[in-house]
Amino acid sequence: MKKKLGLQSIRFEQPPVITSTAAIVGPMEGEGLLTGFFDYVMEDNIHSYASWEKCESYMIEWAVRKAVEKDNSTLEDVDYILAGDLLNQLMATHFAMRSLGRPFLGLYGACSTLAESLLIGSTLIDGGFAQKVAVAVSSHHDAAERQYRFPTEMGVQRPPGAQWTVTGSGSAVVTANGTGPRVTAATVGRVIDLGIKDPNIMGPAMAPAAVDTLWNHLNDTGRTPDYYDMIYTGDLGKVGKQLVVDMMQQKGVDVSANYEDCGCMIYREDQDTHSGASGCASSGIVFASYLYPLLRQGDLKKILLIGTGSLHSPTSYQQKESIPCIAHAVSIEQ
Amino acid sequence: MKKKLGLQSIRFEQPPVITSTAAIVGPMEGEGLLTGFFDYVMEDNIHSYASWEKCESYMIEWAVRKAVEKDNSTLEDVDYILAGDLLNQLMATHFAMRSLGRPFLGLYGACSTLAESLLIGSTLIDGGFAQKVAVAVSSHHDAAERQYRFPTEMGVQRPPGAQWTVTGSGSAVVTANGTGPRVTAATVGRVIDLGIKDPNIMGPAMAPAAVDTLWNHLNDTGRTPDYYDMIYTGDLGKVGKQLVVDMMQQKGVDVSANYEDCGCMIYREDQDTHSGASGCASSGIVFASYLYPLLRQGDLKKILLIGTGSLHSPTSYQQKESIPCIAHAVSIEQ
């Protein structure tokens, strides 16, 4: 099994190429730190749809169509779409897939879904089962808020450690051949739960899962953090990000020089999102709009993207359970 | 791309072997048509847990552990677990994975998840990324009822076309080498929605997706239905099953001689489940407890298992949306 590395990792023999990406966001994201980088910024969070959920579905469909267009391909060239979102029963994804009509594999990794979809999509290509796949993820602040917490209209005060669910969708096309950054290796995460029960503070809940996956990735591949220009986690926010640095330090590994969290790269300080961004679209839009072009231009040569997912449900919270978390990592190299 | 067949199908070069299966069920399933076939029958639907959801999580953990034990393996031999269930945010699966501690990929295909997990798991093995994977699915009547429809305790009268969500979990171990039936080919489904809006009548909603996948499977592989000893769908129930026969007939293909639905194989007529069984565990327990031993003994030599999933959510229903459906197929041959 030449493609398995260590305990949890794989390496690709003919690394699949990410040949295009696309990102669509809401107005708040469009005015944030990455202003000017997105393919499309909606004027409001509903875009004339009858519900936030349907607007989210529109975004994921738009992102897939745009990524395919930027790849100079048609939907018919896409063998499979792999996608997911945060809504119950992947509502946004499924209604988008109804319109797109391509063979589809549904994934649920909460906010780790971008990394999960890149990982599985790359195995389908390197395994010889597909020539081209599209991956996509989405989240929507208002739809997530009312599903996970309180009716959005109530405007419930958020604790300082809380994060703001990103309204947006990111998509990528992965191809067997072509030019662009390549998915060279990946690490499949385990479910880690250190007992945090407050779903308003997901960053600290997810940080141990990110550390577990990063630690195992380094062990499995024999790499040190400086192998990468940058290591990114998906949506730990300020509090979770600091925890990753501290917990890795305790293991004797310094990541402070080249580690950042996508959740800290989206909103300006004065946008008052507290601890930063969260949601499937956190890593989705940062990767699709900002990191991918940097890789493409050679300004970044090697990154490790660690998708981080908080796997609780409102039901598990009501049943007083703690928050199981997961993190999947993909190495992307120019 | 020698492993892609036609538009939506793949064939495995070194077909992965299903080396063991296990099934656990509730008392009603234990007294049904497959009585005596299950590895474990719970005495009641809660098994001393504090909630139905936690009982469902117990079942999926039990099924994975049992399948691994029957494979004469340990959990450490399992490279990855691929699993999913019907609960929001895969609650049953995630808490089971927390206990099992293995690298994990979460899937959501509603009741098509067994086929989806066998499909992706087999690509990981044939692609050279894994030596052994475990797949698992679960559903729980009471947990599903209160999530999708009404508080279970209300005892709302069910329409005649309704199906009964199976309480149970089925798991399988798939290995690169070994003896047993092999996953030889698979077809990835598309989301199909012909406009049915009543979530009490999911069989007819899913039947067109099953027909689309079956039709494309036959076209992609150049096979006729008589290539298979039997073709099984996951959980269409009586009404949906008849629709598959009729719709295939309209396409000029007769499947009446060797087609059955797992949803019609679980409950006795006098158990009053109306149109039959549904849920991820419908195909899960029928395959794990009944079909797998028949394949193993050579009483069945070639089957096509078509997992059928109704992808609606309570939110999409409340927003007056119709029901998007999907079906994934796996060929399993002795």
Is the CB of B250 inside 8 Å of chain A's CB atoms? no
To the nearest whole percent, how much of chain B has pLDDT over 70? 100
Chain B residues with beta carbon closer than 8 angstroms to that of A123: 123-124, 127, 129
- Per-residue model confidence as pLDDT tens for chain A (334 residues): 579 999 999 999 999 999 999 999 999 999 999 999 999 999 999 999 999 999 999 999 999 999 999 999 999 999 999 999 999 999 999 999 999 999 999 999 999 999 999 999 999 999 999 999 999 999 999 999 999 988 988 988 988 889 999 999 999 999 999 999 999 999 999 999 999 999 888 999 999 999 999 999 999 999 999 999 999 999 999 999 999 999 999 999 999 999 999 999 999 999 999 999 999 999 999 999 999 999 999 999 999 999 999 999 999 999 999 999 999 999 999 9
Query: What integer is the mean pLDDT of B216-242?
Result: 97
Chain A residues with beta carbon closer than 8 angstroms to that of B146: none
* Residue A214, pLDDT score: 98
* Residue B1, pLDDT score: 55
To the nearest whole percent, how much of chain B has pLDDT over 90? 94
Domains of chain A: 4-175 (3.40.47.40), 182-333 (3.40.47.40)
CA distances from B172 to B18, B38, B228, B255, B285 (A): 7, 14, 21, 27, 10
Whether residues B90 and A102 touch (CB distance < 8 A) is answered with no
Cα–Cα distance for residue pair A265/A101, rounded to 1 Å: 34
Q: Which of B50, B89, B107 sits opposite A311 (nearest CB)?
A: B89
User: How many contacts (CB atoms, under 8 Å) link A and B?
Assistant: 188
Whether residues A87 and B3 touch (CB distance < 8 A) is answered with no
Whether residues B107 and A104 touch (CB distance < 8 A) is answered with no
Query: What integer is the mean pLDDT of B65-73?
Result: 98
* CA A189 to chain CA mean position, Å: 14
* Residue B160, pLDDT score: 86
105-164 in chain A: CB under 8 A from chain B: 105-110, 116, 119-120, 123-124, 126-131, 147
**Relative orientation angle of helices B113-126 and A113-126, to the nearest 10 degrees:** 50
Q: Which of B10, B86, B94 would you mutate first to test chain A, the one with the most A CBs within 10 A?
A: B94
Whether residues A191 and B88 touch (CB distance < 8 A) is answered with no
Chain A residues with beta carbon closer than 8 angstroms to that of B101: 190-191
Whether residues A131 and B89 touch (CB distance < 8 A) is answered with no
Mean pLDDT computed over every residue of chain B: 97
* Residue A224, pLDDT score: 98
Whether residues B191 and A101 touch (CB distance < 8 A) is answered with yes
Q: Which of A79, A191, A316 sits opposite B4 (nearest CB)?
A: A79
Whether residues A189 and B103 touch (CB distance < 8 A) is answered with yes
Is the CB of A88 inside 8 Å of chain B's CB atoms? yes
48-77 in chain B: CB under 8 A from chain A: 50-51, 53-54
User: Using one digit for the tens of pLDDT, what is the confidence trace for B11-32?
Assistant: 999 999 999 999 999 999 999 9
Nearest to A245 by CA among A268, A229, A267, A261: A261
Chain A residues with beta carbon closer than 8 angstroms to that of B315: 53, 87-88, 91, 147
Whether residues A88 and B315 touch (CB distance < 8 A) is answered with yes
The Cα of A310 is separated from the nearest Cα of chain B by a number of Å equal to: 10
Q: What is the number of other CB atoms lying within 10 angstroms of the CB of residue B226?
A: 12
Cα–Cα distance for residue pair B56/B285, rounded to 1 Å: 14
* Residue A1, pLDDT score: 55
* Residue A252, pLDDT score: 98
SS3 for chain A is CCCEECCCEEECCCCCEEEEEEEEECHHHHCCCCCCCCCEECCCCCCCCCCHHHHHHHHHHHHHHHHHHHCCCCHHHCCEEEEEECCHHHHHHHHHHHHHCCCEEEECCHHHHHHHHHHHHHHHHHCCCCCEEEEEEEECHHHHHHHHCCCHHHCCCCCCCCCEECCEEEEEEEECCCCCCEEEEEECCCCECCCCCCCCCHHHHHHHHHHHHHHHHHHHHCCCHHHCCEEEECCCHHHHHHHHHHHHHHCCCCCCCCEEEHHHCCCCHHHCCCCCEECHHHHHHHHHHHHHHHHHHCCCCEEEEEEEEECCCHHHHHCCCCCCEEEEEEEEEC
Q: Which of A108, A120, A148 would you mutate first to test chain B, the one with the most B CBs within 10 A?
A: A108
Residue B248 confidence (pLDDT) above 60: yes
Query: What integer is the mean pLDDT of B161-179?
Result: 96
Is the CB of B84 inside 8 Å of chain A's CB atoms? yes
Whether residues A88 and B321 touch (CB distance < 8 A) is answered with no
* Residue A124, pLDDT score: 98
256-295 in chain B: CB under 8 A from chain A: none
* Residue B199, pLDDT score: 87
Chain A residues with beta carbon closer than 8 angstroms to that of B326: 104, 106
* Residue A208, pLDDT score: 98
The Cα of B23 is separated from the nearest Cα of chain A by a number of Å equal to: 23
Q: Which of A51, A106, A324 sits opposite B107 (nearest CB)?
A: A106
Chain A residues with beta carbon closer than 8 angstroms to that of B192: 98
The Cα of B11 is separated from the nearest Cα of chain A by a number of Å equal to: 8
